Amino acid sequence: MQGLQVFNDLGQIVFDTNTKTIKVLANFKIVPNMDRTFTHSLLATDSPFYIITPVATGNLIDQITITKLSNGFRVQTNNLRMSNGSLYPNANFLEITIGVY
């Protein structure tokens, strides 16, 4: 097995792995009424993932649809608003990170 070790100036290991690490391919803001597709050749061959931050809970997560494509993801949102018309908490801060591991 092969891995990677990174040491600080004191000779202490600060990163040590003998398996794959992640590679971030895209990071972008999630906005109301979004319909965005992100594709990359690595998303077809490696193990793809996405992370939404900060954590979208409750009805907010129901307003975000992520569809896996053969070589990417399609990100769609509704208006990200509650029934009273105001934005859900954290809606202004939502981001999605897409990558492979």
- 4 inside domain: no
Q: How far apart are CA 43 and CA 76, in angstroms?
A: 18
Q: Would you state the pLDDT for residue 20?
A: 67
Expressed as residue numbers, the domain containing 50 is 20-100
- 83 inside domain: yes
Provide the greatest CA pair distance for the chain.
57
- 3 inside domain: no
Closest CA to 100 of 21, 27, 28: 21
Q: Which residue has the higher pLDDT, 101 or 49?
A: 49
CA dist 45 to 33, 34, 54, Å?
A: 30, 26, 28
- 12 inside domain: no
Count of the separate structural domains present in the chain: 1
- 88 inside domain: yes
- 74 inside domain: yes
- The residue type of 93 is F
- 6 inside domain: no
User: Over 70: is that where the pLDDT of 1 sits?
Assistant: no
Q: Would you state the pLDDT for residue 55?
A: 80
Query: Which residues, including other chains, have CB under 8 Å from residue 9's CB and lie 6 or more apart?
Result: none
Give me the mean pLDDT over the 37-46 stretch: 93
Give the whole-number percent of the chain exceeding pLDDT 70: 94
- 7 inside domain: no
9-36 pLDDT per residue, tens = 999 988 888 766 789 999 999 999 999 9
